[in-house]
Chains A and B, each alone.
Chain A
Amino acid sequence: MKKHLKLHIIWIALIVLVALLIDFLIAQGIITQVYERTLVTIFINIILAVGLNLVIGIAGQFSLGHAGFMAIGAYAGAILMMQVDGILGLLLGMLVGAILAGGVAVIIGIPTLRLTGDYLAIATLGASEIIRIIILTSDNITNGAIGISGIPDTATWSIVYVFVIITTVLVLNYIRSSAGRATLAIRENEIAAEAMGVHSLKYKVTAFVIGAMTASVAGTLYASYLGVVAPKDFTFQKSIDVLIIVVFGGIGSVTGSIIAAISLGILNTLLQPVGEWRTIIYAIALILVMIFRPSGLLGRRELMISPFLNRQKGASQK
């Protein structure tokens, strides 16, 4: 128990420290407006990647439809924030978006999650494209291809940061819960898990719904921070971008996703001068990582503080 408390304190201290550091850097003018935008993009990517990792890495279900759920959150947020001002509008948009995305995920998930592997990937991709096309064609609500602009920019970097922490903690806790362990069992061997009495569809759908809701939250934050949304932001390409982060970090490693989101975000900024070659370098890196390290940078391992604590404790006992 004491060890747990110590761990929590270290984590909270770390979180606060990062926030203070960013605040300090912004106040000093080291993080300019442009860099702040990169920072928020990284944060939003962390939320997206952690959510997708729950579906792909933990539940072992290869979904390519993350952008669709992000679009739901972005549009729900955009529409509600235009009606309700301030933080209330943001939270309301987030809530409505998450409920909507969750509902859609149940509708899509129950039939499609019976499929496996590539088929599931294609089915979710199709579903996400259908969501996008519906948004594109309902111009009276969503303004069609032009999208919605002038959304009040309620979300600051600190609000986004708070949500990064909330979603990460939620996902991590879910993974460690009994439901999470059942989900892991399905990943390892679905037939064996079923034989042991694990209701595999239930857990797969749950993971899918949680993933969809986090994507929706990321979408709302995205809409609020940028102030504009358009259907072209949520194509198949966006799902791939998130997938790349998850794969780079390690399929199944939450800390891996976070590290990958940060390093790819920085790499992206550094590669800005080479312009269009950036995406090519990205693609080559993706292929090379798959060939030489198919499990990603961290594989399934997590970076944790507790081993360090234990080691120290072991050393002092000697």
Chain B
Amino acid sequence: MEQLVNAISLGSIYALVALGYTMVYGIIRLINFAHGDILMLGAYIGFALISILKLDFFSALILSMLACAIIGAVIERIAYKPLRKSAKIAALITAIGVSYFIENIMIVQVGAETKVFPDVLGKQSFQLFGVDITLKQVLIFLITISLMVVLTLVIQRTKMGKAMRAVSTDEEAAQLMGINVDNVITFTFLLGSALAGAAGVLVGVYYGAMTPLMGVTPGLKAFIAAVLGGIGSVPGAMLGGYLIGLLETIVNALGFSLYKDAFVYAILVVILIVRPAGLLGKNVKEKV
């Protein structure tokens, strides 16, 4: 039972990051390798706000999301926009380059060693149906769910959301209908990066530690979660995130923690082979 609570909080974080991947992929068919590094930046920004500016947890979370949103949008404009028309592999390699750049800049600036994230939420815990639940876990879950609700509303109800869906279905047609595709793409990066920033702060709180390379593994796993659920699909990303969180916790609980990453990758390979479109994805036939 306690494992289930762990799985939910871990899965929440993966789901948040996976949403960013899914949205970006859904719109420009690019695996944004730098997404995990935005998460790392979010954690560091949150850390700075909490420990240097002495802000409380929620304002730090929101400011760090804002900062990450801006960083994400700037990255998109500088690095990805010039490559919109070139081969996919060029964009993918650029994304790897951006990820490399962010990681190493941070290593130079803050050092490669692990830093302790301030324990802002304390160790309070309470019992629910005989299970120990910490305040942290509840907050992570609640924050994730509310962010997801907001995101779904943005996508379903706003004009920008409608434009996003239009661009992801058919970019050219959307352009002909008077949608400013560039702005929509930047907006997508903004949203995705804000979610990654939130996830970064949550990862920092959850594990209590951070390093400049902390984004790599959650980034990859969140991507796997996105693929598992069906890349490009918002509910799919959530489902995938929770499934990966659950799987990892089960493997951990069974005492194979060393093999936990191997399991996740193996699931990825199997899913790609059996159902390349993911659990909730649509199968797109290849065109001649």
B92 touches A236 (CB 8 A): no
A283 touches B288 (CB 8 A): no
B31 touches A129 (CB 8 A): no
A287 touches B98 (CB 8 A): yes
> How far is B227's CA from A137's CA once the two chains are assembled, in angstroms?
27
> How far is B216's CA from A125's CA once the two chains are assembled, in angstroms?
13
Q: Whose C-beta in chain B lies nearest to the C-beta of A276?
A: B108
A31 in the interface, Cβ–Cβ < 8 Å? no
Chain B 271-288, CB within 8 Å of chain A: the 1/0 string? 011001000000000101
A129 touches B98 (CB 8 A): no
A130 touches B273 (CB 8 A): no
What is the total number of residues of chain B having a CB less than 8 Å from a CB of chain A? 42
State the main secondary structure of chain B at its contact with A: helix
Residues of B within 8 A of A111 (CB): 269, 273
Partner of B101, one of A126, A133, A276, A284: A284
Residues of A within 8 A of B101 (CB): 280, 283-284, 287
A290 touches B93 (CB 8 A): yes
Residues of A within 8 A of B90 (CB): 290, 294
Chain B 1-34, CB within 8 Å of chain A: the 1/0 string? 0000000000000000000000000000111000
A279 touches B97 (CB 8 A): no
> How far is B92's CA from A282's CA once the two chains are assembled, in angstroms?
16
A201 in the interface, Cβ–Cβ < 8 Å? no
Q: Whose C-beta in chain B lies nearest to the C-beta of A292?
A: B82
> How far is B97's CA from A282's CA once the two chains are assembled, in angstroms?
8
Residues of A within 8 A of B272 (CB): 112, 115, 119, 122-123
> How far is B262's CA from A126's CA once the two chains are assembled, in angstroms?
8
CB of B237 to closest CB in A, whole Å: 15
A98 in the interface, Cβ–Cβ < 8 Å? no
Q: Whose C-beta in chain B lies nearest to the C-beta of A126?
A: B265
In this complex, the member of A115, A118, A251 whose beta carbon has the largest number of chain B beta carbons within 10 angstroms is: A118
B194 in the interface, Cβ–Cβ < 8 Å? no
> How far is B198's CA from A142's CA once the two chains are assembled, in angstroms?
39
Residues of A within 8 A of B108 (CB): 276-277, 280
A-B contact count (CB 8 A): 111
Q: Whose C-beta in chain B lies nearest to the C-beta of A251?
A: B89
CB of A169 to closest CB in B, whole Å: 27
A82 in the interface, Cβ–Cβ < 8 Å? no
Interface band, chain A: 35 or more
A247 touches B93 (CB 8 A): yes
A286 in the interface, Cβ–Cβ < 8 Å? yes
> How far is B189's CA from A7's CA once the two chains are assembled, in angstroms?
53
Instruction: Please provide the chain B residues from 121 to 137 with a CB less than 8 Å away from any CB of chain A in the complex.
Output: none
Partner of A282, one of B88, B100, B258: B100
> How far is B265's CA from A210's CA once the two chains are assembled, in angstroms?
24
B146 in the interface, Cβ–Cβ < 8 Å? no
Chain A 264-297, CB within 8 Å of chain B: the 1/0 string? 0000000000001101101110110011001000
Residues of B within 8 A of A276 (CB): 104, 107-108
Given contacts A119-B227, A280-B104, A291-B83, contact A130 B98 (CB under 8 A): no
Instruction: Please provide the chain A residues from 116 to 132 with a CB less than 8 Å away from any CB of chain B in the complex.
Output: 117-119, 121-123, 125-127, 129-130
B265 touches A118 (CB 8 A): no
> How far is B79's CA from A236's CA once the two chains are assembled, in angstroms?
22
B149 in the interface, Cβ–Cβ < 8 Å? no
A62 in the interface, Cβ–Cβ < 8 Å? yes
> How far is B31's CA from A279's CA once the two chains are assembled, in angstroms?
22
A26 in the interface, Cβ–Cβ < 8 Å? no
Can you spell out 15 A-B residue pairs with CB atoms less than 8 angstroms apart? A118-B31, A118-B88, A126-B224, A126-B268, A129-B265, A133-B258, A133-B259, A133-B262, A136-B258, A243-B96, A277-B108, A290-B86, A290-B90, A291-B83, A294-B90
Residue ranges of B at the interface with A (Cβ–Cβ < 8 Å):
29-31, 79, 82-83, 86-94, 96-98, 100-101, 104-105, 107-108, 216, 220, 223-224, 227, 258-259, 261-262, 265-266, 268-269, 272-273, 276, 286, 288
Residue ranges of A at the interface with B (Cβ–Cβ < 8 Å):
56, 62, 111-112, 114-115, 117-119, 121-123, 125-127, 129-130, 133-134, 136-137, 191, 236, 240, 243, 247, 251, 276-277, 279-280, 282-284, 286-287, 290-291, 294
